Each structure stands twice: as C-alpha cells, then as structure tokens.
A and B are shown apart, each in its own frame.
Chain A
Amino acid sequence: MLNKRRTYRRQKVCKFCLDKVLQVDFKDVKRLRNYVSDRGKIIPRRISGNCARHQRQLTIAIKRARSIALLSFAAELA
C-alpha cells in the first residue's frame, strides 16, 4: 500500500498450461525463443511465470534445441 507505483500485476499463468501443451517440444523453436534472453540464457520461472512442470520440460527442450543448433548456446560476439 505504501508503494503505489508497484501496481502492475505479474502475468500469473503458465502459457504452456493455457495452451494445454502436454509435452514441451524441442522442435518448436518459435515458442522456445520466447523463453531465452537475447544472450541465449534460459529465462527463470520467476519471470516467465511458467509452472514447475512446464519449466522443467522447457529447460530440457531448450538444451536439446541448442545441441542441434536450433538455438544458440550464447549470443555471438558482435
């Protein structure tokens, strides 16, 4: 109540749950892109709002996508 500026509400739902994704797929690069930073790091649950189960699947999916060069391990040196 003291700090009125902090009125924004965090997106509370897991996008994967909304879309009823049963298994996060490492081939779905479009979707995975939303969950890595521009440096290529995986975005934490605290920020993305994913549920635990989907975040677990997501990290594995991202790592697989990286190993087959669909996603980068790290941003390239400019």
Chain B
Amino acid sequence: MRSYEVIFILDPALGDDGVDAAIAAASGIVTKEGGEVAEVQKWGKKRLAYEIKKRREGHYAFLRLRAPVKAVTELERHLHIAESVLKFLTVLAPALRRRPVKAKASAPAPKESDTHGMTVGVHGEAVGSRRTGAEVQEA
C-alpha cells in the first residue's frame, strides 16, 4: 500500500452531478480493489493552461489514496476509458520520512498557503524524496 495523489480533469460540460458521479466512480474502483480514499477535493471549474481535446476549461478533481498498485492501475485504466476525463495525473504522495531530521522535524508544520481552497504542504513531510514521483499521465 502506498499513498498516491490522483488529479483528473473532467469535461466542463458536466454539471455538479456529473462531477460527483465521476468522483464516485473513481473512488468506487479504488475501494473495490482494496484501497481507501483518504481525501477528495473538488477544485471546481478552472481554466486550463492549454487546450485539451478542444476544451479551454475543465472541472478538476483531486483524490488522495492509500491503495495497492492493482487499484491504481485499475483506476488509471478506467480514467483512460472514461470519455468525460480530459486528462489525469497520478503521482506518489511524498512519503513520510522515517528518521526525523533534528532541525526540520522539530520545526512547526509548514505553513498553509491557500490556493483555490487546496491545502498545500500539509502532506509534504518528506525531504529528499524527489524520486517519489512516478508520474503517469494521459493526453
């Protein structure tokens, strides 16, 4: 079991129900394969930095998972197929450092800066884990 962060962009034409349904479908797959969804965030409709499938905006959905590899591959397969998903990205969440570093570990938790209601840096305990990110993406 590892922690992952999954972001996917949904068709802007979807209503709130559609977005919820897509998120539910994704989390359903994860739980079915023995993983758990630790956190769900809806970032709402955002403008895309570039055009994807002729769309200039999309609904962003963010999931934080704790799941076996099997669940993640299955989820990705689903996201590949789902028509309403414009693009998605899966990354390994920064792992917790096993041995606390003396100075850094005793320092207060990193400040939360608020970007569109997402929490930032809360999870980011790991230093020197730049290799944690197996990135998977889909155009």
Chain A residues engaging chain B, CB cutoff 8 angstroms: 19-31, 53, 56-57, 60, 64, 66-73, 76
Do B50 and A30 touch (CB < 8 A)?
no
Q: A28-B121, A69-B9 are in contact. Are A22 and B126 (CB under 8 A)?
A: yes
B124 within 8 Å of A (CB atoms) = yes
B87 partner residues in chain A, CB cutoff 8 A: 67-69
How far apart are B59's CB and chain A's nearest CB, in angstroms? Answer: 12
B residues 45-103 with Cβ under 8 Å of A?
48-50, 52, 58, 62, 87-89, 91, 94
Q: Mark B97-139, 1 if CB is under 8 A from A, else 0.
A: 0000000100110110101101011011111111001010100
B111 x A19 contact (CB < 8 A):
yes
In the complex, how many angstroms separate the beta carbon of A56 from the nearest chain B beta carbon?
A: 6
The 8 Å CB contact of A67, one of B62, B104, B115, B135, is B135
